[in-house]
Amino acid sequence: QQQVKQSPQSLIVQKGGISIINCAYENTAFDYFPWYQQFPGKGPALLIAIRPDVSEKKEGRFTISFNKSAKQFSLHIMDSQPGDSATYFCAACPYGQNFVFGPGTRLSVLP
């Protein structure tokens, strides 16, 4: 029940295209859903996050879509750039405590 599933494992997108990564969870106690971006040799860094009281959140080229009834959320990267090439992790957190992470998606944006 603690698991967060994430797909795809890897993703190759052309520059200017849309990157979409999907996650699913089971635990209804989760109330915070962040996405982290990790570059090689660095720690993960918070990219964007959403609470379950809204269905979508947009920050620049990054959008989270959230479907509470389906227990799914996704990250959309519009106009993908080579600098977006990184590993992306979705996560879920109940009541500001323990984070549960998905297995990650390695995104490559081709120039």
Partner 1 sequence: EAQVTQNPRYLITVTGKKLTVTCSQNMNHEYMSWYRQDPGLGLRQIYYSMNVEVTDKGDVPEGYKVSRKEKRNFPLILESPSPNQTSLYFCASHRASFPDTQYFGPGTRLTVL
Residues at the site binding partner 1, with contacts judged by CB under 8 A: 2, 6, 9, 32, 34, 41-46, 49, 89, 93, 95-104
Taking the complex as a whole, how short is the minimal distance between the CB of residue 89 and partner 1, in angstroms? 6
Distance of CA 56 to the CA centre of its chain: 13
- Phi then psi for 82, rounded to 5 degrees? -55, -30
Query: How far apart, in whole angstroms, are the C-alpha atoms of residue 106 and residue 91?
Result: 15
Q: How many CB atoms lie within 10 A of CB 6?
A: 21
Which CB atom, from 17 or from 72, has the smaller least distance to partner 1?
72
Taking the complex as a whole, how short is the minimal distance between the CB of residue 20 and partner 1, in angstroms? 18
Which CB atom, from 12 or from 46, has the smaller least distance to partner 1?
46
